[in-house]
Amino acid sequence: MFTSINKTVSSLFIVLVMTIFSISNAYAGDNRVNLEGRAGIVVPTGDFDRFNGDVGFSTGLKASYSFSPYFELRADGDLGIFSTLRDVPTTRFWNVTAGPGVNFTNPYNTRWTVGVNGGLGFTVIETDDFQGNSFNETYFALSFGARVGYDIASRVNISLSSIGYITFADEDDTQFFANIPGGSSFEEVFTFPVSLGLTVRI
């Protein structure tokens, strides 16, 4: 029984690989590498929002490789900066993730692009000096996002996108933030950059 199941799974896997390979070959003549620059705002939520709830500034980059008009493998990097006039140190979130992206539109049929993406990676949280101390730690992170774009030229796309980053911090590490007025230690941080972007296909 298990031998039969294994053969079936193996056959399905081979069909899937051949399908992806065929799609990739059909798409081989197009510009498959995409480079994107973006900037906007970043919104903090969760425990971090308790003491530094102001909307921050965000800037980011994306590099991706398209296997077909609908599937890509991408790497994202975003920097979120939270700075206030209150007695709170400037805090920076360096988010880096990689994973798949799925596009719902075919560039042969429309100038519009609509897609979603997800990824795994890490986040570096760092702060300026506060009362003689500062914070700098790296944690595991997940990302999920959505993007709407429009081709203004054959290889140029403008977009509005948002990527949510979930950072899994350590409550013992983040005791630093408990010493900040109105702050507390935390385990998870959610940040949501909302950005305008420009993508070039090369």
**Facing residues of 124 across strands?**
94, 138
Render pLDDT for 100-115 as a digit per residue (tens, 0 to 9).
999 999 877 899 999 9
Asked if 125 and 139 count as a contact pair (C-beta separation under 8 A), the reply is yes
pLDDT grade for 8, boundaries at 50, 70 and 90: low
Render pLDDT for 165-187 as a digit per residue (tens, 0 to 9).
999 998 888 888 888 777 788 88
| pLDDT at residue 153 tops 50 | yes
Query: Taking the CB of residue 23, how many other CB atoms lie within 10 A of it?
Result: 15
Q: How far is CA 18 from the centre of its chain?
A: 29
Q: How far apart are CA 48 and CA 43, in angstroms?
A: 10
Beta-carbon contacts of 35 under 8 Å, excluding residues fewer than 6 positions away, are 61, 62, 63, 199, 200, 202
H-assigned helices in 64-135:
none
pTM of the entire structure?
0.81
Residue 27: per-residue pLDDT = 47
Residue 186: per-residue pLDDT = 85
DSSP 8-class letter at 22: H
Mean pLDDT (whole number) for 57-82: 95
Q: How far apart are CA 199 and CA 155, in angstroms?
A: 8
DSSP 8-class letter at 50: G
Render pLDDT for 12-60 as a digit per residue (tens, 0 to 9).
556 544 554 454 444 444 678 999 999 999 988 776 765 555 789 999 9
